[in-house]
Chains A and B, each alone.
Chain A
Amino acid sequence: MISGYLETLSAALNFDRALAERVRQEVEDHLQQAIAADPSNGGIAAEHRAIAEFGDAQAVAAQFATLSVAEQMRKLGIALILVIAGVFVAMKGRIAWYAVTGGDLGHDMTPVTRIVGSIDRYSFWLAVIIGTGSFAYVVGRPVPTLVDARYRKQLRCVLVLCLAAIAPLVLSVISDGVLTAIRMGAELCAWSLVPIGTMAIEIGCVGILVFHFWIMRSRTVFAVSLLAP
């Protein structure tokens, strides 16, 4: 009976394996202690009582799922700011490298590079503005005990805000890639290592952010489904 209860609980929390494992061990220890302390000294009746006093597995899982979503939301907010900072540093590093090795960027401006450069600049600053707003919205928000209708609305808002920050950031990194490719041309030499390296950092940063966003989205879906009637 205990193992069935624990299975239900950890299956409901399977979207966050580390949490599911921790909760399973803690609850198992609790139930075993409750059974040992039962006046009937163990047996099926004691197991029944211990489980009944602990509460419905789905309801308990829903409370843990809320915490998991809140934690992921906080991580996503922090990742958003760190990634924007990382992309900015990589971008500035590459520009500084061009200045050291190839002089000012402005002299080989073509209409295409000018347009892509503008897209890059505006999309990056758009990502900064929305990203900062999302971070301020996410961090410091109290964690509720359950994903109620109000919290569900907040989660939707966070997802939309983060997506609105990620989309222009991705566009900015793509534009950076295009500009870097145009500047480097077909030749690859030791000089190209810094632009390629900084581009790899930008792509890696955005990849991390997309990964956190994807985890947040799937945890939200699971948490909401646990509370669905």
Chain B
Amino acid sequence: MLKGHLDMIVLAALAAGPAHGYAVIEKIKRRSNQAFDLPEGTIYPALHRLEQAGLLSSRWVTAESGRRRRVYALTRRGERAFAGHRAVWQQFSDAMGDLLAGARQRRRSA
């Protein structure tokens, strides 16, 4: 199920600001209370794919350790795409919430 929403998850992790791949994975784990423990190797191809699609930009920086690190950031197009994803998800979540609440009420009254 997560696979279908991978792009939105990655965009959400980067919505707060630029980050490198490892930090993106950590953010996803932390902000989802460890619920989204994705295979780490799938995040990097997703970052590259989103960059190819023009939703992310990236640049090399040198870390304190001296290693080169690729930092990703949302582009304007990426921000718009994320806002669109979020609106659709919110609508879906509200509708599903109403549906489940209705089912619970019917069970109680029966």
Contacts and interface: CB of A to CB of B under 8 A. Distances in A.
A25 B70 contact: yes
Interface stretch (A59-67, A147-155, A162-170, A212-220): A59-67
A30 to B, nearest CB: 5
Interface centre among B20, B41, B46, B67 (most CB of A within 10 A): B41
B68 A29 contact: yes
B22 interface: yes
A132 interface: no
A29 B52 contact: no
Interface in B40-78: 40-42, 44-46, 48-49, 52-53, 63, 65, 67-70
Interface string A10-32: 00000000000011011111101
Q: How large is the interface on B (under 10, 10 to 19, 20 to 34, 35 or more residues)?
A: 20 to 34
Contacts of A32: 65, 67
Contacts of A60: 41-42, 44-45
- If over half of B's interface residues share one DSSP class (helix, strand or loop), that class is named, otherwise mixed; here it is helix
Contact of B52 (A25, A54, A67): A67
B45 A64 contact: yes
Interface centre among A25, A30, A63 (most CB of B within 10 A): A30
B22 A29 contact: yes
B39 A22 contact: no
Given A28-B67, A29-B20, A145 B40 contact: no
Interface residues of A, number: 25
Contact of B63 (A27, A29, A56, A67): A29
A29 B64 CA distance: 12
A39 to B, nearest CB: 15
A63 B42 contact: yes
B11 to A, nearest CB: 15
A4 interface: no
Contacts of B107: none
A26 B53 contact: no
Contact of B22 (A34, A71, A143): A34
A187 interface: no
B18 interface: no
Contact of B48 (A30, A53, A56, A67): A67
Nearest to A60: B41
Interface in A80-115: none
A145 B52 contact: no
20 contacts: A26-B44, A26-B69, A29-B20, A29-B21, A29-B22, A29-B68, A29-B70, A30-B21, A30-B40, A30-B44, A33-B22, A34-B40, A59-B41, A60-B44, A63-B42, A64-B48, A143-B52, A145-B3, A145-B6, A145-B42
Given A29-B20, A67-B45, A67-B48, 9 more contacts: A29-B63, A29-B67, A30-B22, A30-B25, A32-B65, A60-B45, A67-B52, A71-B52, A143-B52
